[in-house]
Chains A and B, each alone.
Chain A
Amino acid sequence: MKLRGPFLRLALLAALAVLWAASPALAGQSDDDCLTCHGDSGLKTDQGRSLFVDSTRFTASIHGSAGISCADCHTDLKKFTDFPHAAKLMPVDCASCHDEAAAAIRESIHGMPHSGAEPIIVHCKDCHGTHDILPAKDAQSHTSPMNIPDTCLSCHLERVKTTLGPGFAGRYKESVHFRALSKTGLSFSATCLSCHSGHSVRTVGDPQSKVSRRNIIRTCGTCHTGIERDYLEGVHGKDYVKGSLDVPVCTDCHNEHDIQSPEDLGSGVYATKVAAVCSRCHDNELLARQYGLLTSRLKTFSASYHGTASKFGEVKVANCSSCHGHHGIRPSSDPLSSINPANMASTCGTCHPGAGENFSKGRIHVISEKRENRWAYTVKIVYMVVIVGLISVFLAFIAADLYRRMRIRWKR
């Protein structure tokens, strides 16, 4: 390829010179004819739009190297005999060759007529480029994994308004996926295409979309196969399969575009933030009633040492997932559950080596001490009475003391 560019340029120039000199009356339009004018980098329309075609880049492109000529795409050129030709050519119809892709686009959000005040019409060239189209495998291509984020963001950063705000798509650049792509250089890390697909991009509300609630598990599972398997075995996954839309899917806990590693402070599932994520549903009265969940999970967790320390930013203490697991959470009735009474000792033993049966002799999420730990309740009540009583006595003594001193002062 490297050699071919300059070589071809030379060859082209030579051929051009010969043709120009030898047969000015030769009929039909070869690429060289076009480049006679369009090879001039200064060629512009009256409006100042450049009409320059970089022959080097074109010949290097997938179309150029396949021997496709200008007139194969700009089909109306064939009708012209006089040059320079009419000022405006018809738009190129990629569908004449790429009918499958074109059909997919027509079905996608990019092919839908936009209802906004400024309709945005997306053409093939907006993503793929024009004369310089390269196969996606090529690192230089606009559609190569490395370049896809910038290609999509050229519109989706500002021009396209989504319900989640204009910067929503841009947050991908904060994600661990983009990090892998840009810092580590892993071309198989997830880009826009991996989740939204290429031509058949659909809105999240569209059930056929790869990122809809119905499909997101499969989509993420394409790469995260083991996690998908765990999820489907867990209590959330089992209801998900039954068609429940209330169960959390990947994006509910991990966010959409700015997915970060759980070790990252910015992650929604960072050790100290897990409790807030889980309690979004597990402390939700409506869901609790519908599915028979126990509520006050966050409150009872926060009141424990684990929860308190976690609130102060300690990451070593247990959070929800330390005991309940994460992707494959099972109900305590399940013998495989980490919080099944039979497994409690080993679950607690992860942090508390030698944890024995005593760990299960008591409640973890204590909602009502009155019912669940009678002694603790009694102790609390006694302390309340003592504290209130003693402090009242102290204050009464202080008040009496100050009262006497005031009296003496008044008398004077």
Chain B
Amino acid sequence: MFKWLHPFAKPETVYHLCGRFYPWLISAGILLLLLGNIWGLAFTPPDYQQGDSYRIIHIHVPSAIMSMGTYSAMAIAAFIALVWQVKVAQWSVLAIAPVGAIYTAIALITGMAWGKPMWGTWWVWDARLTSELILLFLYLGVIALSGAFTDRQTGAKAASLLAIVGVINLPVIHFSVEWWNTLHQGASITKFAKPSIDPSMLWPLLISILAFKVIMLALVCLRLRTAILLNEQHRPWVKAMAKGQ
């Protein structure tokens, strides 16, 4: 059934495919990012409740959404790597992990910057913030594990296994932290007012989300190409390419 996917297990095919997509992805991503963020940060009306400080939503929300989307992409790649022993999937786990970690860090930092004017405090042990922090730890764990072995292939396989264990744990973490937050009767539970948002603010937000997604794909393409070259340096096609250029 999946025969049409078999060519994508070949590193050479993936290398050239990523090379074809990368210019389009990165230019579209930067364009959308500039469009969405400049529109959102400068040209939308101020919120009646939060004034002007809500504007960081155009960076914070897309990066938070993408931090979780990136983890699921990494987990899917890890699953493919472990079940079908596809090397390209192992390398793509390592390609995706730092991108996701950076997105999570951006979400946390922009969230703190938003929280200070909103709640008066930089940090609160809210369910979402705590889950996001633990997500950052999981990403850093995957990156740390991949570098801890002398043999790079063993590190890639171990990191894939850890990514899968982490993804199974992720919903548990989120729900447990949510429950924990409601169990502590003293905590003030704050939720961002999301649903009823004016279209003039909604459109730049959506464009920003799309921009972050496209940039993630572009960065992963770039990193995966580098990883393929690094790991396949002894193959004839790489040597031919190096000689040809």
> Is B a genuine binding partner of A?
no
Listed in ascending order, the chain A residues whose CB lies under 8 Å from chain B are none
